[in-house]
Amino acid sequence: MSRARSGVWLTVASGLAFASSGPLAKAVLAAQWSPGAILAVRLTGAAAVVLVVAALADLRELRESPRHVRTIAAFGVVAVAGVQATFFLSLQHLQVGVALMIQFLAPVVVIAWNWAVRGRRPSARTLTGAAVALAGAALVIDVFQGSALSAAGLGWAALSMLCNAAFFLLSARTSDSLSPVTLLGAGLGVAALTAWALGLATILPLRFGAATATLADHSLPVWAALALLIGISTVVAYLCGVAGAARIGSTLMSLVLLSEVLFAVVLARILLGEQIAPVQMAGGVLLVGGIALARSSGGRGGSSVRTSTRSEQAPPAVPPVP
């Protein structure tokens, strides 16, 4: 399998793993846990797991990671903790569909950044594919249902979008001197500390609820739901994501990861019994078609989705923090 193809499949796997976080987190929320408590426990557990993996993979590299403190700090605070914290804050003012759609505009920011700063002009096929995929995502999450818009909610959602774009850009910046697993382990550690700080500051209050949750009409211990949220929705999701980004670049990764919304709807149907409307199925077709169209433009005409060259991973002549 080529490097580019493996990168696409790793990113699809990342989208599927991220999508499982919705039903799992919803089950724990229903057990009266606060978003802040879930976020802090999720990131702490994931950091512990990935740091062990990083130590087993290359302890020397992990010891040298402090040399990359700027990149790691940006990844942990902005690209991990920032995305999730600002999204939770936006949900206090907006419906889920609206907040998600704003967050998933991140590919537009990524394309604009790569074009304006790095001189990687996207092809017409990439731009068309992005537009079709975003339209499909809007239908999948039913963003057009009537709802009042809040300026504060829009602000938090826009900030979440920018943090999400930073995740794509920083993930693709991994070099030979800092492997994806080391970047992720150290970054998750920083993100966990950030989450606890937000909780202690009551920005995202910490409230630990019941010991039992319900998933797919079955009762299970909250610790089991949290273990799945840590292991699949965080560790697997982020590992596949940063590994995929290192292979296909930030633009294509940001588009392929839109598949998360499609997987989320399907998993909500399986695990929570939520119905899938015909408009959502039509949106799924558009979403997959748009991603396929953007993928087909890789490497042509100066497109920003060149996937197999080292130039996508080499540090460009710009500051390392987007």
pLDDT tens profile 86-132:
988 988 887 776 777 788 788 888 888 888 888 878 888 878 888 88
Report yes or no on 42 lying in a domain: yes
265 Cβ contact partners less than 8 Å away, ≥ 6 residues apart: 140, 141, 274, 276, 280, 284
Higher-pLDDT residue of 107, 200: 200
The Cβ of residue 9 has, within 10 Å, a number of other Cβ atoms equal to 15
Q: Is residue 120 a part of any domain in this protein?
A: yes
Q: 194 exposed, middle or buried (CB, 10 Å; 0-12, 13-18, 19+)?
A: buried
Q: Is residue 78 part of a domain?
A: yes
Rounded to two decimals, the pTM is 0.79
Structural domain contains residue 290? yes
Residue 11, domain member (yes or no)? no
More confident residue, 28 or 267: 28
Domain that residue 276 falls in: 22-305
Q: Would you say residue 320 lies in a domain?
A: no
Number of domains in the chain: 1
Does 321 map to a domain?
A: no
- What percentage of the chain has pLDDT greater than the value 70? 83
In a domain, 15, yes or no: no
Burial class (CB in 10 A: 0-12, 13-18, 19+), 321: middle
CA distance 7 to 179: 15
What mean pLDDT do residues 10-24 have? 88
